[in-house]
Structure 1
């Protein structure tokens, strides 16, 4: 049985979910609504521990929580770039951007493009776009 076929029954610790829990939730997001999560849950999960899982979920057009995962990738990218990669490894970030460019659909290619633009021009950072989901909702390219 795959994660997508199973039912998700909740997080052991929603402040620090495991990759397996996050993946299971992402395919059954109505089982634990975002509104019931801790405040700023998107900021909590948008770190190195879960970034590969978030990336996989964002790459899957069939994932019901895909847009949430993509939103977290925008937070991850902005956090890494704006801290000069003290917050996240630059090498991992670059690999994700390159993979999104090669294998991603329009949503993921836009994330990769926007990430590269922000890397070159940090003055284009707008909190609403990068950390509050603006670029995900509008699916637009900056720069």
Structure 2
């Protein structure tokens, strides 16, 4: 689905955007910069409801908000490897990782690799990298061992 022709008309509720609103915003992020959104907006939207939309935006090389979507997918992944994460979340995350490995470009291939590392070694979690955007700002493949 392409929304390149659509213009962003706003969020009915920025704290709980609908997938189509997030997608329209992602192609016109200058309409409402992330800095104008509620505090911790990335944490608020990086859940199961918007994960399919965020993943598609993160995979789209043409999406102006791609890096933000990738950042949200790092948050989603970190939440998905917690011991008390639901089995449904773990299954969804695994499917996203497999798809990124199959058809993703370099940034998404790195994301998938890093997710696999974290799935196998959750103790390697680093808040700055996964939640604060370090792995998006400074892309790199994590080593399985430190």
Q: TM-score range by the shorter chain?
A: over 0.9
TM-score (norm 2): 0.93
> 1:14 touches 1:37 (CA, 8 Å); kept in 2?
yes
Q: In proportion to residue count, which structure has more helix?
A: 1
Runs of at least 4 residues off by over 3 Å: none
Per-residue CA deviations over 1:71-119 (Å, capped at 9, x if unaligned) read 0000000011024423862111111000000000000010000000001
1 CA distance for matches of 2:103 and 2:84? 26
2 CA distance for matches of 1:100 and 1:9? 30
Distance 1:88 1:47, change over 3 A: farther
Listed as ranges, the gaps of 5+ residues in structure 2 are none
Distance 1:89 1:24, change over 3 A: same
TM-score (norm 1): 0.95
Per-residue CA deviations over 1:29-49 (Å, capped at 9, x if unaligned) read 000111110000000000000
Map residues 17-32 of structure 1 onto 2, 5 A cutoff.
17-32=17-32
Listed as ranges, the gaps of 5+ residues in structure 1 are none
> 1:79 touches 1:88 (CA, 8 Å); kept in 2?
no
Count of aligned residue pairs for this structure pair = 142
Q: CA RMSD in A?
A: 1.2
Q: Secondary structure at the match of 2:79?
A: helix
